[in-house]
Structure 1
Amino acid sequence: MKTFLISLGVICTIFLGCHTENEPETARQPHVKADNPVEAGRYLVTVGMCNDCHTEGYMAVEGNIPEDDWLTGSKVGWRGPWGTTYPVNLRLRAQELTEEQWVEQLRTRKVKPPMPWMNVNKMNEQDARAIYAYLRAMGPKGERMPIALAPNQEPTTPYLNMVPLNLPPMAEGGASN
């Protein structure tokens, strides 16, 4: 009977994706499954829309940029009440950090818009590691992007104006009416 139960556990785990009591918590959280972490990372940066900001001109050409040129940052700033921010060169950033530092940064970082850190902070550890593996496999390329500017500093680079216009008053608790 014990052999039968172990066999059921193996079948469940291998073929059905069931979880076991001994499995680490991170493995039980939702995450992308792929043949290897690099493929999972490629998928995540694609569907996570990382290229939209972190690859110069990506949206303007509907993503028709060679993969070798992906994620090298952008000198087009995002200007709003917070100042002007620039999408970092992720290929260089991943070379500067250990895998543990990368995971910790994705879990805890909170910086200026438009980067949706409130969402990235919720990423599963396995997915964060997969993105790191993909970026490291791509290797370093490109240069560092400009540093963020304070609200009173005028950018010398092209920028997108993110100042909202004609917003209705905000209701108590932050939701607009």
Structure 2
Amino acid sequence: MAACCLAAIPVIAAAQSGDVSAARGLYVSIIGGCHDCHTGGYNESGGKIDPATALAGVPLGYSGPWGTSYASNLRDSVKDMSEEEFVKFAKTFTAKPPMPVYNVHAMEETDLRSLYLYIKSLGSPGAPMPEALPPGAEPATPYIVMEPVMPKG
């Protein structure tokens, strides 16, 4: 796994702003924080990307006043989208916390096109992640509670 990650370093360095390429998309996915939530084991590995799990989602829920949400499988999300459809989607979609949709909405079109190419280059979409749950529904997966606790007194 380390060799694949180290091999990506020259590709990332070669991906210039304004380029539309899968290499640029890899770079955008890293600096945009996509792997932080959507790639299993990414944080635990110190930021190494395993292509087998890259952007395939994580079945760990984030529970709060909105209910419980999951980091979706981006490969599955884009499998039937054209590049044009993805750009339009990325500029307008909504999602429950903790997904920072405003970060994606602010991306340059060339970066979104590159991100699309990178996601599509990853191969088989794999399995979808669990659907979001409404407030009060008990998740069947592990989850993190994201609600503030007020101090007593």
Aligning the two structures, in what range does the TM-score lie when normalised by the shorter sequence?
0.7 to 0.9
Q: Runs of 4+ in structure 1 displaced over 4 angstroms?
A: none
The match for 1:72 among 50, 56, 59 is 56
Name the structure 2 match of 1:45: 29
Structure 1 distance, partners of 2:24, 2:44, is: 25
**Gaps (5+ residues) in structure 1?**
1-30, 168-177
How many pairs align?
A: 136
1:135 aligns with 2:119: yes
Please state which structure has a larger fraction of its residues in strand: 2
Shift of 1:65: 4.2
3-state SS of paired residue (1:133): helix
Name the structure 2 match of 1:85: 69
Structure 1 distance, partners of 2:115, 2:48, is: 21
Q: Deviations over 1:28-82 (max 9, x none)?
A: xxx8245x51110000001111111001232122223423321100100111110
1:161 aligns with 2:121: no
Structure 2 distance, partners of 1:45, 1:67, is: 13
TM-score under structure 2 length normalisation: 0.82
Query: Structure 2: which amino acid aligns with 1:32?
Result: S
Q: Is the 8 A contact 1:54 1:71 kept in 2?
A: yes
Instruction: Provide the identity percentage.
Output: 40
TM-score under structure 1 length normalisation: 0.71
3-state SS of paired residue (1:76): strand
The structure whose RCO (Cα within 8 Å, separation 6+) is larger is 2
Query: Structure 1: which amino acid aligns with 2:143?
Result: Y
Structure 2 distance, partners of 1:153, 1:135, is: 31
Shift of 1:165: 2.1
Q: Is the 8 A contact 2:61 2:69 kept in 1?
A: yes
The match for 2:78 among 83, 86, 94 is 94
Structure 1 distance, partners of 2:94, 2:82, is: 19
Query: Structure 2: which amino acid aligns with 1:166?
Result: M
CA RMSD of aligned residues (A): 1.7
